[in-house]
């Protein structure tokens, strides 16, 4: 029933009312091998429409590790409209996908794309935290000189700064993920668990809630966005936490990080591996 509704919307409304730079489209990405419901007034959606994907280096690393290693579980924390979750579910169907997105409009859009692609993975409209209290999340501002002047739904954050709107706040249920994953350990068969974490300032909170799982499970790969330039102390604490748990740190090109100069003051994605 829901599939028919989404398809009817796509054919009767989205296609008939869109223009190149504004509105809704169904877009088949050959690079991802999936069809995405995209809103071209949104920055991330627009880049996927233009380039076939967003954050190519993250997709490339997912493809690399999922080809080279035995991965049994993909945990997408801060999944936005679902590009990474959909990519894994479609192209690596043997891998279980857990997807978490706090912003409900992103969650709904991702759910639509999941149905359009005839996929069925564990998608949750939840924030991930180190406690089970609801989180206040500030939505991003529309800014003419940032993100091509488009709204960027991926910038919703627990951090209030010049890019977020103090008057546009949502409250989202949260969950501590470590205990949730511990219940699934017996089904993982000692294969890798792969995390993608992109939560705009809540990375340390997410990791603190994962400590119990990361301590007891031996094979984990994490690709995580660290904004050292923005909040050095928080991200150094997050980095040090992972290193203390036995992880090795790599840059996004999979080169091992040996010196402080490699990461200090940079905003980038980094890879942490424990095996």
* Residues facing 163 on adjacent strands: none
The pLDDT tens digits of the residues spanning 72-85 come to 999 999 999 999 99
Residue 16 has pLDDT above 60, yes or no: no
Tell me whether strands 220-227 and 96-100 are parallel, antiparallel or unpaired: unpaired
Residue 131 has pLDDT above 90, yes or no: yes
pLDDT > 90: percent of the chain: 82
Domain map of the chain by residue range? 54-146+172-274
Q: DSSP letter string over 240-273?
A: HHHHHTT-EEEETTSPBP-SGGGTTT-EEEEEEE
The pLDDT tens digits of the residues spanning 174-216 come to 999 999 998 877 666 679 999 999 999 999 999 999 999 999 9
The number of CA neighbours under 13 Å toward the Cβ of 265 is: 1
What is the average per-residue pLDDT within 26-53?
97
Q: Which CATH architecture has domain 54-146+172-274?
A: 3-Layer(aba) Sandwich (3.40)
């Amino acid at each position: 029933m829901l599939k028919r509704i989404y398809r009817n919307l796509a054919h009767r409304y989205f296609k008939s009312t869109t223009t190149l730079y504004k509105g809704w489209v169904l877009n088949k990405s050959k690079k991802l091998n999936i069809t995405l419901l995209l809103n071209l007034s949104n920055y991330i959606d627009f880049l996927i429409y233009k380039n076939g994907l967003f954050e190519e280096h993250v997709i490339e690393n997912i493809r690399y590790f999922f080809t080279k290693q035995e991965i049994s579980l993909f945990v997408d924390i801060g999944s936005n409209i679902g590009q990474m979750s959909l990519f894994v579910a479609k192209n690596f169907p043997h891998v279980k996908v857990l997807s978490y997105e706090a912003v409900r409009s992103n969650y709904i859009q991702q759910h639509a794309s999941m149905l359009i692609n005839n996929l069925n993975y564990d998608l949750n409209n939840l924030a991930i935290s180190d406690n089970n209290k609801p989180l206040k999340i500030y939505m991003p501002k529309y800014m003419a000189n940032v993100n091509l002047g488009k709204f960027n739904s991926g910038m919703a954050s627990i951090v209030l700064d010049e890019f977020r709107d103090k008057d546009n706040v949502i409250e989202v249920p949260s969950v501590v993920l470590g205990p949730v994953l511990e219940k699934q350990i017996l089904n993982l068969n000692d294969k890798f668990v792969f995390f993608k974490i992109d939560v705009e300032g809540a990375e340390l909170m997410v990791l603190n809630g994962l400590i119990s799982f990361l301590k007891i499970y031996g094979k984990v790969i994490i690709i995580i966005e660290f904004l050292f330039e923005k909040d050095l102390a928080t991200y150094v604490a997050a980095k040090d936490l992972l290193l203390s748990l036995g992880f090795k740190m790599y840059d996004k090109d999979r080169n091992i990080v040996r010196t402080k100069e490699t990461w200090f003051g940079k905003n980038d994605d980094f890879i942490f591996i424990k095996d």
